[in-house]
Every structure is written in structure tokens, then in C-alpha cells.
Structure 1
């Protein structure tokens, strides 16, 4: 019995709850292009390229801008991503906000509860973590 309790406890500690909350865009919205405001505070090195590549995978063009929204950008996206350290760095939180002409039309959040705990899955790459989130945000 003690062995079962020990194994169950270790299994519980080794898993992390990943929380993904998405408010996808409505099915009638079909953006042809999404302009993404670059966030220089994000230090997850591949985050922007991963998100862009996944959006473009769905046939939607992307453009990155720094200050003013470029002309003709009906859809804009802002983002944040946070890293943590535990024998190495890993992304533990990210948010994507999608707007159409200044009104929010979609939102997605990826979050490792407890910053991943003892789970080895917390070191999965940004692509593995964010591809399904972007897919769900875009209603794909």
C-alpha cells in the first residue's frame, strides 16, 4: 500500500497542469493578414517566429511592426511570453490578443500552473506549446 501511495505521489508531482484558455475568432471572420506588434520585452527568443509561422501555415499573411499600425492592417495582434528558470529556461506563460479595427475578436492564453512543477514537459519547445494555441485561436 505504501508503494502505491509513493508512486501516486511521485506521479502527481511529476505532472504539471497546463492551462489553455482560448476565445477563438468567430467563424465568419477570415483575416487575410494579421499585423503583429513586436514586443521587445519578450525574451523567449523564438516566440514571435513560431507564432508568425503558425499563422502563415493557415494561409494568413503576417507583418510585424514596432510603433504605429501600418496602413491597411484591419487585424492586429499583441502578445506577451514569460520564461522561468529551473536547471534551464523554459516558457511558462504566453498570451495572444487579436483585434479587428481596435476591437478584441480573439484571445488565447497558455499557462503552466505552478510554473511546471517537476514535469519534464515544461521544457518542450515554444512550437510544441504554441501551435495548438494558435490553431484554436484561429478556429482551425
Structure 2
């Protein structure tokens, strides 16, 4: 694996029903994630996706690429923009991943994720999203 090499890209979508299901699974029932009136009352543009849902959905690209969620030994990001989830149209995120650094001595590769909202002029919703992946011995990392 060489710095700058692509691991692929994907598009994910969120809808309001998915936010409610995630709230139930995570225990995060903050009404800004399901109530339009509550979200607007605190000066949000409307219902927004959970940050942890966004973070978790984005790293799925890395999981799919490496084939083993247990190979991801570190994952960090900064939340840089909200993800508004329109009642009718939902939300769309585009995710792409590239090799940011390969460390053959440690047997790891760092994958840098770019996570954008194409409906908002490619606004980055996650910044410095990086996953460190343990690569199998004998691979080219």
C-alpha cells in the first residue's frame, strides 16, 4: 500500500426512520435527532443525524475494504459540520478513503477518510477522520 492509494468510495443515506432506530439502539433520544420543532427551537436547520451514527457509518468503508472490523485498531475524527436530515429527501454523504501512511514495521496502515455532504457544496462533515488498520502479515503494507 502506498500513500495516496484509494481504498474506494461509497455513498450512504440517512432518513428520519433510521435516526429513530439509531436512537433506540444507542439510547440517544435527544429530540434534535427526531423532532423538527425542537431542532428549530435551538436554532438548528432542522433534524440532524447523530454524530456517532455519522462516524460509524463512515468507517464502514474501511471495514468493507479490510474485511475484518477487528483489524481496525484505532479510529478518530473531528465533527466539523452537522448532517441535516430532510423529512422528504433524507441526507446523503459521500465517503472516500485513501492510504495516509503505511508503517511496515508496525504492520499497520492509516486510512484517511473524506466525508462530505454533496448537497451542501461538498461540505466536510467529518475532519481528520483516520482509521489505523492492522494488515495481515505478508501483505504489502
TM-score, length-normalised on structure 2?
0.29
**Larger Rg over CA atoms:** 1
- Pick 1 or 2: higher relative contact order, CA cutoff 8 A, min separation 6: 1
TM-score, length-normalised on structure 1?
0.29
